[in-house]
C-alpha cells in the first residue's frame, strides 16, 4: 500500500475536466508541473497533493472535489493481490454505520485516532450483525450465505484473515482507513449515505465495464413495475442489486451472484437505501455461486423473478446440465442459447401464477437454434409478452433490448395469447424522432406505453375479459398457435402492423401547416448577416478571439472573480421524472444538444448543496460540439441541476454579457483553439477559451446579434425535424394506400 496518494494522467484529466492530451501539454509547457513519483514511462504516476496544488495555482480547479478525495483513498486501500472492490465493502460498512447509527458514529468521530482505530471496526461489525444478522460477521449460515457474510466481514477487518482479527475480535484500522471514514462522513453529510455509495459504485462500474454492466435504475423500475408488488422477489444474476433495489425495502428480496464481493456490495447497497427506521435484520438474502451450475435456491419458488442475465455465454454448463430438472420435458437449451437457459432457470423459480421479467438481446427472439425452446414456452402458456425497447434502455446501450414477461403456468390455465409491443417505434407524425442512445430514451413516455398496454392485457387474461383492441404501430395480441411455425420468431416488429398516419390526409395537412408556420417565423437571413468591419484589425480572420486585439481567457476571468465555472463530471444519481414530478429536474448534455425538456429528476438525497441553473447562466457540453445555451425563457430552464458532462458558466452580468459569452463558445475558433483530445474523444478545455476584451455596452450589442442567430438556428432545426417527420408520414401513407399522390406539377 503506497504511503501517499498517486494519480495518473487520465485521473488528472478527470480532476480538471479536460482530455488526457491537455495534461500532456501542461507537462511540456509548464516547467513547474509536478514530476512523476512512480508508475512507468508510458503511464507515470504523480503525487496527488502536488498535482492538486498546481491545478489550484493555475486556476484549473478551486479545490479537489470531495468525491475525488474519497476515491483516491479507496484506490490506495486496494490490494493488488486481492479483489478490486474490497475497499468498497469497507466504505459501504462505514456509510451503513452512519446511516443506521448516526449518534454512535458522531461519538466515535470525536475520539482520537488511537482509540478510533480499535473502536471503529467493532462498531462496523455490530452494525452489520444487527442489519444483516449474525451471518454477516461470522460467515455462517445455510444455503451459501457464508460467502456474502465473509465478504462483509473481510471488508470490516473481522474475518480473521490478517491474524489479528476474527469473529467477535475486530482488528485495528490504519490511518488511511480512518481518513477514508472521516471523508465518507463528509460525503454522506453532503449527499446522504445512500447517494454517496451510489457515486462510489458508479465510479467502480465505470472502471470495470468488462466485469460489470449495471442495469440503469429506470430500466430496473420498469421491470419491477411490470411485476407488480410481489411479497418475495428473486434475481439470480444480482450484480450490484439494481433490480432488487427497485422493489420496496419491505419486500423479501433474494439473489445470487458468482462473485461474493459483488454480492456483498449489493447487500450493503440495499441496506443503505432502506430507511434507517426499518426493523432489522433486513429481509435480504444474497448467496454466492454460479446460478446455472450451482443453484443456491434449488426447490425454492418466489412470487416474482427479475433478471438481466449475462449475454452470449458459451460456457454456461450445457454439458453437465443435460438432465437438469429445470428444463421442461427434458428440452435442453442449445449450447449457444445461454439466455434461454436463464429464462428457464427463472421460470423454474417462479411460483405458479407468478411473473418473471427479463431483459434480453433481440436475437433471442429469432435465432433458429432456440426455436424449440421458444415453441415450448408458447405451448405451455408461460410466455405472455415480448416488448421491444429502444436502444439505450440498458447495457449494451447500442442494442434495442427486448423485455420478456412470463407467467408460471397454473393447472387449468388455458390462456394462450401473447402481447407483442413495439415500444421502440417512432410515433407517427412526431417531429421528435425516437433516436437510440443512453441519454435519449424518454422514460416517462416509455414507462407509460409499456405499463398501460401490459396491465390492460394482463387484466383481461386473468379475469377472462375481452382482450384490448390492437393498436397498429404499437401493439397487437397474437394467438400462440399463430406464432408456431418454422421460425417461431417472437420479434414484435414482425407481428405489429405499421401505423397509418394520424388523421390520414387531415393529419398530413396539419403537419404541413405546422411546418409552414415554422418557416414563416424564420427571420430573413439578410437581416442576420453581419457586414464587413469598418476597420479590420491586423490579422483578422486568422487570429484568436477579437481578430488580433487584446483577449482574456475564461480561466483568467475565473481567477478575477468575474466568472464562476461548475463542472458536473458524471453527474449526481437521478430517477425518471415520472417517479417524482415535483423533483429537481436534471439537464444532461443530450438535453442541451436536442433542446428537449429534462427527462430525469435528482435523487432527493443528492439535491441539497447541488448548484441549480439561474437565468443568465451559460451551459456548455463538456465534449464541446459548438453548443452553448443561455438559461432563460427561450433556452434551458432555470432551477435545474447539472446532469452528466456539462459545464455551467455564471458570469457577472455587470462585466460579462451571457449572450456574448455563449456566442463565442459556439464559434469554430473556440472549438479549435480550446479543444483537448483523448484517444477516442475531444473535449472542450473551458478555461482556455478566449474572449476579446470589450466594454460591456459593446458586448451587449454583439450578444444581441449572437442571440438572434441562435434563435434562427433553433427554429431551423425544429423545421428540419418536422420536415423529416412530414416526409416520412407522407411516404408511409402512400405506401399503405391511405392517401392519394398529389397532382403532378
- Specify whether 412 is located in the same domain as 537: no
- Whether the pLDDT of residue 334 is over 90: the answer is yes
| Weakest mean pLDDT among 64-68, 169-173, 400-404 | 169-173
Most confident of 161-165, 303-307, 695-699: 303-307
Q: Which residue has the higher pLDDT, 108 or 732?
A: 108
For 497, the 3-state DSSP assignment is coil
Q: In 3-state terms, what secondary structure has residue 170? A: coil
How many other β-carbons are positioned within 10 Å of the β-carbon of residue 1?
A: 9
432 pLDDT above the threshold of 70: no
Beta carbons within 10 angstroms of residue 319's beta carbon: 9
- Average of per-residue pLDDT across 202-223: 88
Say how far apart CA 81 and CA 79 lie, in whole Å.
5
Q: pTM here? A: 0.69
Task: Give the mean pLDDT of 255-279.
Answer: 93
Residues 191 and 219 placed together within one structural domain of the fold: no
- Based on the fold, state whether residues 570 and 657 are members of the same structural domain: yes
Indicate if 152 and 243 belong to the same structural domain: no
Higher pLDDT, 170 or 79: 79
Number of domains in the chain: 3
CB 316 within 8 A of CB 345: no
Q: At residue 44, does pLDDT exceed 80? A: yes
Q: What is the dihedral of CA 359, 365, 367, 369, to 10 degrees?
A: 90
- The set of cell numbers assigned to 210 is 468488462
Cα separation, 225 vs 229, in Å, equals 8
Confidence of residue 17 (pLDDT cuts 50, 70, 90): low
Cα separation values, 236 from 306, 320, 358, 500, Å = 8, 19, 11, 42
Q: Which residues contact 557 (CB under 8 A, 6 or more apart)?
A: 563, 651, 656, 691
CA 318, 324, 327, 330 dihedral sign is positive
- Per-residue pLDDT tens digits for 456-490: 999 999 999 999 999 988 999 999 999 999 899 99
In the predicted structure, residue 68 carries a pLDDT above the cut 90:
no
Q: Is residue 657 in some structural domain?
A: yes
- Higher pLDDT, residue 530 or 519: 519
User: Do 119 and 219 share a structural domain?
Assistant: no
Q: What are phi and psi of 469, to 5 degrees?
A: -65, 145
Instruction: Over range 692-703, report the average pLDDT.
Output: 93
Residues 481 and 629 in one domain: no
Q: What is the pLDDT of residue 575?
A: 64
Statement: residue 169 has pLDDT above 60? no
pLDDT at 266: 95
**Cβ proximity of 160 and 98 under 8 Å:** no
pLDDT surpassing 60 at residue 400: yes
Q: Is 642 helix (H, G, I), strand (E, B) or coil?
A: strand
Q: Is the pLDDT of residue 668 over 70?
A: yes
Distance from C-alpha of 438 to C-alpha of 602, rounded to nearest angstrom: 17
- In the numeric block, which cell numbers belong to residue 503? 388523421
Residue finishing a domain among 178, 206, 234: 206
For the purposes of burial, counting CB atoms within 10 Å of the CB of 364, is it exposed (0-12), middle (13-18) or buried (19 or more)?
A: buried
Across 134-163, average pLDDT = 54
Query: What are the cell numbers at 578?
Result: 415520472
Residue 112 in contact with residue 36, Cβ under 8 Å? no
Helix (H, G, I), strand (E, B) or coil at 707: helix
Between 477-486, 502-511, 629-638, the lowest mean confidence (pLDDT) is in 502-511
Strand partners, 350: 302
- Helix, strand or coil for residue 655? coil
pLDDT at residue 585, as a whole number: 85
Q: Is the pLDDT of residue 512 over 60?
A: yes
- The answer to whether residue 510 is domain-embedded is no
Considering the domain architecture, whether residues 71 and 126 belong to the same structural domain is answered as yes
Please check the confidence at residue 2 and state whether its pLDDT lies above 50: no
pLDDT at 164: 42
pLDDT on residue 522: 73
Whether residue 373 has pLDDT greater than 90:
yes
Grid cell for residue 295: 443453484
C-alpha cell recorded at residue 608: 441539497
Q: Are residues 128 and 191 in the same domain?
A: yes
Match 433481440 to its residue by C-alpha cell: 362
Please indicate whether residue 87 or residue 41 has the higher confidence score (pLDDT).
87
Of 562, 554, 612, 557, give the one whose Cα is nearest residue 583: 612
Can you give the pLDDT at residue 368? 93
pLDDT number for residue 549: 73
Other CB atoms within a 10 A radius of the CB of residue 535 amount to 6
Q: What average pLDDT score do residues 303-324 get?
A: 94
How many of the other CB atoms lie within 10 Å of CB of 59? 17
Give residue 607's pLDDT band: very low, low, confident or very high (50, 70, 90). Answer: low
Percent of all residues in the chain with a pLDDT value above 70, rounded to a whole number: 82
Per-residue pLDDT at 680 exceeds 50: no
CATH of the domain at 450: 3.40.50.150
- Quick one: pLDDT at residue 593? 77
Better-predicted residue by pLDDT, 293 or 674: 293
Mean predicted confidence (pLDDT) in 270-293: 93
**Edge-to-edge, what's the strand order for the sheet holding 585-587?**
574-576, 600-602, 585-587, 641-642
Q: Is the pLDDT of residue 247 over 90?
A: yes
Annotate 3-70 with three-state secondary structure.
CCCEEEHHHHHHHHCCCHHHHHHHHHHCCCCCCCCEECCCCEEEEHHHHHHHHHHCCCCCCCCHHHHH
Which pLDDT belongs to residue 220? 95
Is residue 16 within 8 Å of 674, Cβ to Cβ?
no
Task: Examine the pLDDT at 652 and tell me if it is beyond 50.
Answer: yes
Say if residues 583 and 576 touch (Cβ distance below 8 Å).
Answer: no
Distance CA(566)–CA(568), nearest Å, equals: 7
Question: On the CB side of 191, how many CA atoms lie within 13 Å of its CA?
Answer: 25
Strand partners, 166: 169
* 730 found inside a domain: no
Domain annotation covers residue 508? no
Q: What's the average model confidence in pLDDT over 24-53? A: 87
Domain boundary among 449, 475, 495: 495
Average pLDDT along the chain: 83
In three-state secondary structure terms, 430 is coil
3-state helix, strand, coil in the chain (%, to 5): 45, 15, 45
| The domain boundary residue, chosen from 190, 206, 222 | 206
Strands 618-621 and 629-630: antiparallel
Q: What is the mean pLDDT of residues 282-308?
A: 95
- Contact (CB, 8 A) for 152 and 167: no
Q: Is the peptide bond before 396 cis (omega within 30 degrees of 0)?
A: yes
Q: Are residues 201 and 220 in the same domain?
A: no
CA–CA gap between residue 391 and residue 399 (Å, rounded): 5
Cα–Cα dist 250/273, whole Å: 11
Both 118 and 40 in a single domain?
Answer: yes
Q: Are 85 and 261 in contact (CB under 8 A)?
A: yes
Residue bearing the bigger pLDDT, 518 or 531: 518
Report cis status (omega within 30 of 0) of the bond before 281: yes
Picking from 63-67, 166-170, 516-520, which range would have the lowest pLDDT averaged per residue?
166-170
Q: Are 326 and 439 part of one and the same domain?
A: yes
Closest by CA to 579, choosing from 226, 221, 227, is 221
In a domain, 741, yes or no: no
- In 10 A of CB 221, how many CB atoms? 22
Range with the lowest mean pLDDT among 148-152, 365-369, 575-579, 640-644? 575-579
Q: Please, which residues bridge with residue 12 across strands?
A: none
The reported pLDDT for the residue numbered 100 is 95
pLDDT at position 608 = 59
Residue 606 clears pLDDT 60, i.e. is over it:
no
**In angstroms, rounded to a whole number, what is the distance separating the alpha carbons of residues 186 and 411?**
57
| Per-residue pLDDT tens digits for 535-564 | 544 434 444 454 557 888 888 898 899 999
Pairing mode, strands 252-257 and 232-235? parallel
Cell numbers linked to 506:
387531415
Better-scored residue on pLDDT, 453 or 170: 453
326 is written with which cell numbers?
A: 429445470
Q: What mean pLDDT is predicted for residues 86-104?
A: 94
Residue pair 364/402 in contact by the 8 Å Cβ criterion: yes
Considering only residues 727 and 222, tell me which one the structure prediction assigns the higher pLDDT: 222
Q: What percent of the chain has pLDDT over 90?
A: 45
pLDDT of residue 473: 85
* Structural domain boundaries, residue 247: 214-495
Residue pLDDT, tens place only, 101-147? 999 999 999 999 889 999 999 999 999 999 998 876 655 443 333 45
Of 85, 72, 34, the closest CA to residue 56 belongs to 34
Question: Does any domain span residue 681?
Answer: yes
Q: Which residue has the cell 455465454?
A: 313
What SS3 state is found at 329?
Answer: helix
Is 487 a domain residue?
yes
pLDDT at 18 (0 to 100): 72
Contact 194, 605 (CB under 8 A): yes
Report the CATH number that the domain containing residue 702 is assigned in CATH.
3.90.220.20
What distance in Å separates the CA atoms of residue 594 and residue 629, rounded to the nearest whole number? Answer: 11
Query: Of the segments 162-166, 174-178, 499-503, which one has the largest average pLDDT value?
Result: 174-178
Q: Which residue is associated with the grid cell 482574456? A: 552
Statement to judge: residues 555 and 663 lie in one domain: yes
Nearest CA to 501 out of 424, 425, 428 is that of: 428
Residue 392: C-alpha distances to residues 24, 201, 241, 413, 437 (Å)? 33, 20, 20, 36, 4
Domain contains 678? yes
Amino acid at each position: 500500500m503506497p504511503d501517499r496518494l498517486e494519480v495518473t494522467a487520465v485521473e488528472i484529466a478527470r480532476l480538471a475536466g479536460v482530455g488526457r492530451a491537455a495534461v500532456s501539454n501542461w507537462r511540456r509547457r509548464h516547467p513547474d508541473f509536478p514530476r512523476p513519483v512512480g508508475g512507468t514511462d508510458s503511464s507515470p504516476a504523480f503525487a496527488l497533493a502536488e498535482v492538486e496544488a498546481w491545478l489550484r495555482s493555475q486556476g484549473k480547479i478551486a479545490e479537489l472535489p470531495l468525491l475525488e478525495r474519497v476515491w483516491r483513498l479507496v484506490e490506495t486501500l486496494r490490494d493488488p493481490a486481492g479483489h478490486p472492490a474490497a475497499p468498497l465493502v469497507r466504505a459501504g460498512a462505514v456509510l451503513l454505520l452512519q446511516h443506521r447509527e448516526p449518534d454512535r458514529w458522531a461519538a466515535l468521530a470525536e475520539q482520537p485516532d488511537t482509540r478510533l482505530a480499535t473502536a471503529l471496526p467493532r462498531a462496523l461489525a455490530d452494525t452489520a450483525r444487527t442489519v444483516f444478522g449474525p451471518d454477516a460477521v461470522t460467515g455462517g449460515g445455510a444455503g451459501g450465505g457464508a460467502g456474502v457474510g465473509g465478504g462483509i466481514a473481510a471488508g470490516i477487518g473481522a474475518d480473521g484473515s490478517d491474524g489479528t482479527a476474527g469473529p467477535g475480535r475486530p482488528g485495528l484500522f490504519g490511518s488511511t482507513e480512518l481518513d477514508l471514514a472521516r471523508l465518507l462522513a463528509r460525503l454522506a453529510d453532503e449527499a446522504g449515505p445512500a447517494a454517496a455509495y451510489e457515486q462510489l459504485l458508479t465510479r467502480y462500474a465505470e472502471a470495470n465495464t468488462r466485469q460489470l454492466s449495471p442495469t440503469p435504475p429506470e430500466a430496473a423500475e420498469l421491470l419491477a413495475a411490470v411485476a407488480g408488488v410481489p411479497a418475495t422477489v428473486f434475481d439470480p444474476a444480482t450484480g450490484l442489486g439494481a433490480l432488487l433495489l427497485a422493489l420496496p425495502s419491505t419486500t423479501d428480496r433474494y439473489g445470487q451472484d458468482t462473485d461474493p464481493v459483488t454480492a456483498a456490495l449489493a447487500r450493503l447497497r440495499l441496506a443503505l437505501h432502506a430507511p434507517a427506521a426499518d426493523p432489522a435484520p433486513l429481509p435480504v438474502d444474497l448467496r454466492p455461486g454460479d446460478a446455472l451450475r450451482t443453484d443456491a435456491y434449488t426447490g425454492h419458488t418466489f412470487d416474482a423473478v427479475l433478471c438481466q442475465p449475462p449475454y452470449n455465454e458459451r460456457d454456461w454448463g450445457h454439458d453437465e446440465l443435460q438432465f437438469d430438472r429445470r428444463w421442461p420435458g427434458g428440452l435442453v437449451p442449445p449450447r449457444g442459447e445461454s439466455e434461454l437457459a436463464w429464462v428457464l432457470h427463472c421460470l423454474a423459480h417462479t411460483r405458479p401464477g407468478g411473473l418473471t421479467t427479463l431483459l434480453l438481446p433481440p436475437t433471442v427472439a429469432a435465432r433458429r437454434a432456440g426455436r424449440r425452446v421458444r415453441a415450448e414456452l408458447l405451448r405451455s402458456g408461460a410466455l405472455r409478452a415480448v416488448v421491444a425497447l429502444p436502444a439505450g434502455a440498458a447495457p449494451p446501450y447500442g442494442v434495442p433490448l427486448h423485455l420478456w414477461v412470463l407467467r408460471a403456468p397454473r393447472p387449468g390455465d388455458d390462456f394462450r395469447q401473447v402481447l407483442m409491443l413495439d415500444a421502440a417505434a417512432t410515433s407517427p407524425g412526431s417531429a421528435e424522432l425516437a433516436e437510440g442512445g443512453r441519454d435519449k430514451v424518454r422514460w416517462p413516455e416509455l414507462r407509460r406505453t409499456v405499463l398501460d398496454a401490459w396491465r390492460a392485457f394482463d387484466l383481461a387474461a386473468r379475469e377472462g375479459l375481452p382482450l384490448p383492441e390492437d393498436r397498429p404501430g404499437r401493439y397487437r395480441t397474437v394467438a400462440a398457435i399463430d406464432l408456431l411455425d418454422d421460425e417461431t420468431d417472437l420479434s414484435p416488429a414482425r407481428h405489429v402492423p405499421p401505423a397509418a398516419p394520424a388523421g390520414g390526409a387531415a393529419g398530413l395537412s396539419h403537419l404541413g401547416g405546422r411546418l409552414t408556420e415554422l418557416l414563416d417565423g424564420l427571420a430573413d437571413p439578410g437581416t442576420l448577416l453581419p457586414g464587413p468591419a469598418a476597420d479590420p484589425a491586423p490579422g483578422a480572420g486568422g487570429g484568436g478571439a477579437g481578430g488580433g486585439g487584446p483577449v482574456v481567457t475564461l480561466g483568467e476571468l475565473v481567477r478575477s472573480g468575474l466568472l464562476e465555472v461548475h463542472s458536473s463530471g458524471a453527474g449526481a444519481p437521478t430517477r425518471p421524472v415520472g417517479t417524482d414530478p415535483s423533483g429537481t429536474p436534471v439537464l444532461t448534455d443530450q438535453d442541451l444538444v436536442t433542446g428537449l425538456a429534462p427527462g430525469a429528476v435528482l435523487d432527493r438525497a443528492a439535491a441539497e448543496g447541488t448548484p441549480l441553473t439561474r437565468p443568465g447562466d451559460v451551459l456548455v457540453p463538456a465534449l464541446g460540439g459548438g453548443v452553448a445555451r443561455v438559461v432563460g425563457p427561450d433556452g434551458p430552464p432555470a432551477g435545474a441541476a447539472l446532469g452528466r458532462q456539462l459545464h455551467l458558466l455564471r458570469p457577472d452580468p455587470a462585466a460579462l454579457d451571457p449572450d456574448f459569452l455563449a456566442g463565442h463558445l459556439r464559434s469554430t475558433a473556440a472549438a479549435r483553439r480550446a479543444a483537448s483530445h483523448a484517444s477516442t474523444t475531444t473535449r472542450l478545455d473551458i478555461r482556455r477559451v478566449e474572449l476579446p476584451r470589450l466594454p460591456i455596452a459593446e458586448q451587449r450589442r454583439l450578444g444581441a446579434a449572437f442571440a438572434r442567430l441562435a434563435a434562427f438556428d433553433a427554429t431551423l432545426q425544429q423545421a428540419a425535424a418536422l420536415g423529416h417527420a412530414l416526409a416520412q408520414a407522407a411516404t408511409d401513407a402512400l405506401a399503405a394506400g391511405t392517401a392519394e399522390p398529389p397532382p403532378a406539377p
